[in-house]
Homo-oligomer: A and B are copies of this chain.
């Protein structure tokens, strides 16, 4: 009933534990016959190595900590799936922690994960303005989907400015002139970048439209309400560039419930291109990111770091593309 240890294998073969250990790990000089015998017996007995004991000896445990806002966010769900697949390839496993974008939670998470003995951490930091945050991390780590301006962390992220730019330019080119944007009230790389791209497109198009830049701040749940309030308080607009698809869906739902037609009266463009964008009504125009790539690439890099391999590129940046559908 009790777990089979290396000792049991040794005893049953009248060998020493050291020989068994070497045989099992293909190390040192062990007679080929002995090695075979040991491996067979180990299999017969159903021996499984105790990772904790190994980890205690300074070996890796095969655990990767993942710190994100929320695993139900379809964007992160896809990213995590990519991570999971890549990790599995290298016999690593994922330890998932949600922070709900709360800084304190993140601090705890970093602390806890390291106590659990993770070999590395994949993190989408709550606040990417102060690199100091990452000081608490004593294991290798990779930043996912965020970017610190002044630091040389390993990062895998998206060209957010380009994303904001192509979304806005598309709206301008399809004849919209009063484009507002709704962004969360957080100073993170994605909001900064998307805002920048939005403004850049307006600027480039005409001085006039540049002056009409309006950035509304909101949580995802209130995105629709915020837009509505803006419209009611004399503001006008014929297009909305939403922070992401959740925002876009919320906005479209509320707009339509008030009898406004999307995209005829108001066009809406989202971001992330979540799988549901093709099912909603109207189908959602969105800036598409390869979420699987984000997960895979970051995980691959982290595992390389853990294994002490050379990292050629410390930064991988993805160019988003616009998926034009019916909403704008």
Q: A278 — nearest CB in chain B belongs to which residue?
A: B253
Q: A48 — nearest CB in chain B belongs to which residue?
A: B115
Measured as residues with beta carbon below 8 angstroms from the partner, the interface class of chain A is: 35 or more
Task: Identify which of A48, A94, A97, A276 gathers the most chain B CB atoms within 10 Å of its CB.
Answer: A276
Task: Tell me the minimal C-beta distance from A270 to chain B in angstroms.
Answer: 11
Question: In the complex, what residues of B have CB within 8 A of residue A319's CB?
Answer: none
Which 3 interchain pairs have the tightest Cβ spacing? Answer: A281-B281, A72-B77, A249-B279
Say whether A53 faces chain B, with CB atoms less than 8 Å apart: yes
Cross-chain contact A98 with B81 (CB below 8 angstroms):
yes
Q: A248 — nearest CB in chain B belongs to which residue?
A: B279
Say whether A318 faces chain B, with CB atoms less than 8 Å apart: no
Say whether A263 faces chain B, with CB atoms less than 8 Å apart: no
Cross-chain contact A62 with B116 (CB below 8 angstroms):
yes
Cross-chain contact B94 with A51 (CB below 8 angstroms):
no
Say whether A103 faces chain B, with CB atoms less than 8 Å apart: no
Say whether A113 faces chain B, with CB atoms less than 8 Å apart: yes
For window 18-65 of A, CB contacts with B under 8 Å fall at 48-53, 55-56, 61-63
Known: A48-B115, A94-B95. 4 other contacts (CB 8 A): A52-B61, A71-B71, A84-B96, A280-B281
Cross-chain contact B71 with A74 (CB below 8 angstroms):
no
Say whether A70 faces chain B, with CB atoms less than 8 Å apart: yes
Name 8 A/B residue pairs within 8 A (Cβ), A-sorted. A3-B138, A56-B56, A63-B95, A71-B81, A74-B74, A93-B113, A276-B280, A280-B280
- How distant is the Cα of A84 from the Cα of B96 in the complex, in angstroms? 8
- How distant is the Cα of A279 from the Cα of B54 in the complex, in angstroms? 50
For window 173-191 of A, CB contacts with B under 8 Å fall at none
- How distant is the Cα of A78 from the Cα of B113 in the complex, in angstroms? 22
- How distant is the Cα of A93 from the Cα of B279 in the complex, in angstroms? 34
Task: Tell me the minimal C-beta distance from A200 to chain B in angstroms.
Answer: 30
Say whether A111 faces chain B, with CB atoms less than 8 Å apart: yes
Cross-chain contact A80 with B74 (CB below 8 angstroms):
no
Given known contacts A84-B97, A96-B80, is B276 in contact with A52 (CB within 8 Å)?
A: no
Cross-chain contact A72 with B61 (CB below 8 angstroms):
no
Mask: chain A, 109-131; 1 = CB below 8 Å from B; 0 = not: 00111111100000000000000
Say whether A240 faces chain B, with CB atoms less than 8 Å apart: no
Q: A49 — nearest CB in chain B belongs to which residue?
A: B115
Say whether A322 faces chain B, with CB atoms less than 8 Å apart: no
Task: Tell me the minimal C-beta distance from A55 to chain B in angstroms.
Answer: 5
Given known contacts A52-B52, A84-B98, A96-B96, is B279 in contact with A61 (CB within 8 Å)?
A: no
For window 66-112 of A, CB contacts with B under 8 Å fall at 70-72, 74, 77-78, 80-81, 84-85, 88, 91, 93-98, 111-112
Question: In the complex, what residues of B have CB within 8 A of residue A252's CB?
Answer: 279
Cross-chain contact A116 with B98 (CB below 8 angstroms):
no
Question: In the complex, what residues of B have CB within 8 A of residue A94's CB?
Answer: 95-97
Task: Tell me the minimal C-beta distance from A18 to chain B in angstroms.
Answer: 19
Task: Tell me the minimal C-beta distance from A254 to chain B in angstroms.
Answer: 11
Partner of A279, one of B48, B95, B275, B280: B280
Cross-chain contact A52 with B56 (CB below 8 angstroms):
yes
